[in-house]
Structure 1
Amino acid sequence: MEPVFFPDDHQFWYETLRTFGHIAYGGADFGEAVVTTQRITAGDYDGWHDQWLATADRVAAEGRRALAGGHRVSARDAFLRASNYYRNAEFFLHGDPADPRIRHAYDAQVACFRQAAALFTPAIEPVRIPYEDTTLPGYLYRADDSGAPRPTVVMFNGFDGSAEEMHFAGAAAAVERGYTVLSFDGPGQPGTRHHEGLVFRPDWENVVGPVLDHALTRTEVDPARIALLGNSMGGLLAPRAAAFDTRVAALIALDGVYDLGDITTAPFPGDRAEVERRLRADHDPELDGLLEAAMATDPMVRWSIGHGMYVLGSPTPRAFGAAYLDYHLRDGIAEKITCPTLVCAGTGDGFFTGQPELLYEHLTCAKTLLEFTADQGADAHCQAGAQRLAFARVYDWLDDALNVRETEAVGGH
């Protein structure tokens, strides 16, 4: 999809499209998003924060007024939108981890989402999932109040998204179809990075394992029909977990990723082995200079490296590039997956071009490649802007994979 806003800054445009996409499940209103966007100058991280924060504050205040007046649906809708706008506000600030605006907007995102969550029927339950010596924050969604076990989707976001955002990126759509949903933030994701300093780890099976342990304690979860959905970078982390945990009955990579080292090494001259050696070297001033130049000229590189250093705990751009090399499904990992797997792919994905196809090629399980195109308005990364279309196709596939009958589906969300 060609940019409608920020034609010379594809990172700003993608984040704007992402916000528009969340309209489908109540995460934005078109007019609110447009007028906010029109006040922002491309590349201005401070301006982006200030304008989205102002919109979020205004909409959150609408929610509080509605709730005080007993208007629960209006309050719920306002809190949902405000939550997403607060998420947007702190998105570009992670180049300075000490910036107090990060924590302020993130905490407001969570507070608004939890206010909205309490106003659903059934209510969306905040949960804390035991993990090593701490807990992971998440949410349990029920299709009804019966407590009966239902097919379940365990889901998580990727490189830069939150468990709260997963409401718009898969959770609400699943609950509409009668699924139980358990969403969570793992290490490196907002709920653990902002408050506990936890950073990403490549062996994601050691994250998903405790989450599945928790899921199996809930009566609403059918232990024989648990699907795992990973969004964005989660399209690599979810397959990694499924390769080592046979409790996963179906897998959705939205979109699929096979090897993040391809992304890190591709821009540099020389073969991959040489680039990897240089990324891991103690000193390489020339490569450091190339990275700094790329950050200065390419908005996508500027953001991805700055954010990547924050969420992977890397002290320099080159250290981030080296850490990224560990995130892959090579060496037979993809081939270990045994459950039915759906790999989604956007033909215009500007982040992970070719990665879904690589993952699909290496799978030896029952597998489906689901392609989304520009003609459908769905070719962007994670089908941003086409959520209703995308989740109809994703969950139709999952219904078949888990043998979910139409009679099991209920409304309520």
Structure 2
Amino acid sequence: MRRLFFEHDETFWFETLRSFSHIAYGGADFGEVVETAIAITGGDYDSWYRAWLATADRVAAEAGRSLAGGHRVSARKGLMRASNYYRSAEFFLHGNPSDPRITTTYDRAVDCWHRALELFDAPAEPVRIPYQDTTLAGYFYQVDDSGAARPTVIVNNGFDGTAEETYFMGGAAALERGYNVLTFDGPGQGEAIHRQGLRFRPDWEAVVSPVVDFATRLPQVDAERIALYGISLSGMLAPRAAAFEPRIKALVAFDGVYDSAQNYIGEFGGDRAQAVAVLTAESAPEVDAAIAAAVEQSPSLRWLTSHGQWVMGAATPREFLATFCDYALIDGVAGKIGCPTLVCAAENDGFFAGQPEALYEHLDCPKQFARFTSADGSDEHCQAGVMVLAGCRVYDWLDEVFS
């Protein structure tokens, strides 16, 4: 898709397009996104924060006035947008995890979302999912208040999303088609990293199985029709979980990922094993210098390593890339998936090009491949910009699987 803003910074453009995506289900408004983007200096993380914070504060204040006046619909819509704008505001600050703006802004995002939930027409509530010696934050959305057991979609965000955002990226589309929805933040994601300091782990079945345990105890969930919907990095994490969790009856990899680090480590060795050896060496000053130079030249790599060090607990960019290599479905893991699987792929994915095809090739289960192209404006990572179209294709497939 042609860049409308930030011609020389692909990360700022993609995150702006991501906000445009959320318009479809109430997470943004076109003019608000445009005016915010105009106020931002490309590549300047502080400028990004200030512009989105100002928009979020303004929208939240208006929502507060609507609520005080008894205008529930207006208040709900405003709080939903404000929550998402606060999420966007702190997005690029994670290179310094001690920055107090991260916690303050994240807390505002969650508070707005919780207040919005109280104004939903159908039941929607925060939940706490038991996990090891703590709990994971999530949300349970119901189609209506009938209490009927319905097919349910577990929506899991990826490398940098939140459980709140997943409502706009798969959750709302499921609800309007008669599916209940359970979303959650696993280790490294949303509340788990912001408030508990839980880092990512590659054995995602250890995360998803407790979520399925929780879901199957809910009377509104049809335990024989549970789908797992993994977004971005969870296009690898969700398949990993499904390979070891037979209660998952359908899987959506949105978009599919076979080897998360493959597209970033090729220059460090002739094959994967050699690259891993270089990245995990006790001392490799030349490699460190090469990575630093690449980070300096690439806005995407700059953001990837700064955020990645935080969510994976890595001390250096090289350590992060080494850790990232563990996030893969190699050695026969993909072949263990038994449920019907939909692998989505974007024609011009700037993060995981070629990965959906690799995942699809290694699957032995009933499978379908959904390619999204520039011809219909859906060629960006996770179909950013066309959430309605993406929802149609994903849930048409799931309707047929669960029929």
Alpha-carbon distance in structure 2 between the residues aligned to 1:395 and 1:140: 19
Aligned twin of 1:373: 373
Q: Percent identity?
A: 60
Quote the Cα distance in structure 2 between the aligned partners of 1:376 and 1:114: 35
Q: What's the counterpart of residue 166 of structure 2?
A: 166
Provide the C-alpha distance between the structure 1 equivalents of 2:149 and 2:355, rounded to a whole number of angstroms: 35
Q: CA RMSD in A?
A: 0.7
How many residues align? The count is 403
The offset of 1:14, in angstroms, is 0.2
Partner Cα separation in structure 2 for residue 273 and residue 235 of structure 1: 23
2:155 aligned partner: 155
Unaligned residue ranges in structure 1 (runs of 5+): 404-413
* TM-fit CA distance, 1:143: 0.5
Which one-letter code corresponds to 2:324 in the other structure?
Y
Q: 2:72 aligned with 1:64, yes or no?
A: no
Question: Matched residues in 1 for 2:226 and 2:282: separation?
Answer: 44
Query: Does the 8 A contact of 1:264 with 1:324 survive in 2?
Result: no
Asked whether the equivalents of residues 244 and 336 of structure 2 are also in contact (C-alpha less than 8 Å), the reply is yes
Q: Deviations over 1:52-101 (max 9, x none)?
A: 00100000001100000000000000000001100000000000000000
Equivalence for 2:350: 350
- Where does residue 281 of structure 1 map in the other structure? 281
2:211 is the alignment partner of 1:180: no
- 1:185-218 C-alpha deviation (Å, 9 max, x unpaired): 0000011101110000000000000000000110
TM-score by length of 2: 0.99
1:6-21 equivalent positions in 2, closer than 5 A: 6-21=6-21
CA distance in 2, matches of 1:271, 1:396: 39
Structure 2 matches for 1:10-409, cutoff 5 A? Answer: 10-403=10-403
* Alpha-carbon distance, 1:271 to partner: 3.3
- For residues 383 and 28 of structure 1, the distance between their equivalents in structure 2, rounded to whole angstroms, comes to 16
Q: Tell me, in whole angstroms, the C-alpha distance in 2 between the residues paired with 1:88 and 1:252.
A: 25
Measure, in 2, the Cα distance between the counterparts of 1:273 and 1:332: 16
C-alpha contact (below 8 Å) 2:269/2:278 kept by paired residues: no
Structure 1 residue runs of 4 or more that deviate by more than 6 Å after TM superposition: none
Secondary structure, aligned partner of 1:294: helix
- Residues 91-135 of structure 1 show CA distances to partners (whole Å, capped at 9, x for unaligned) of 000000000000111111111111111111113110000000000
**Secondary structure class of the residue paired with 1:267:** helix
CA contact (8 A) 1:204 1:240 kept: yes
Structure 1 length-normalised TM:
0.97
CA contact (8 A) 1:264 1:325 kept: no
Matched to 1:243, the amino acid is A
CA–CA separation in structure 1 for the residues paired with 2:123 and 2:60: 19
Contact 1:138-1:184 within 8 A present in 2 as well: yes
Distance in 2, Cα, partners of 1:363 & 1:234: 16
Aligned equivalents of 2:389 and 2:274: distance in 1?
Answer: 42
How many angstroms does 1:269 deviate by? 5.0
Q: Distance in 1 between matches of 2:352 and 2:83?
A: 27
How far apart in 2 are the matches of 1:191 and 1:267?
A: 34
Is there any run of 5+ residues in structure 2 with no aligned partner, and where? none
Matching residue's letter, 1:262? Q
Partners of 1:329 and 1:269 in 2: CA distance: 20
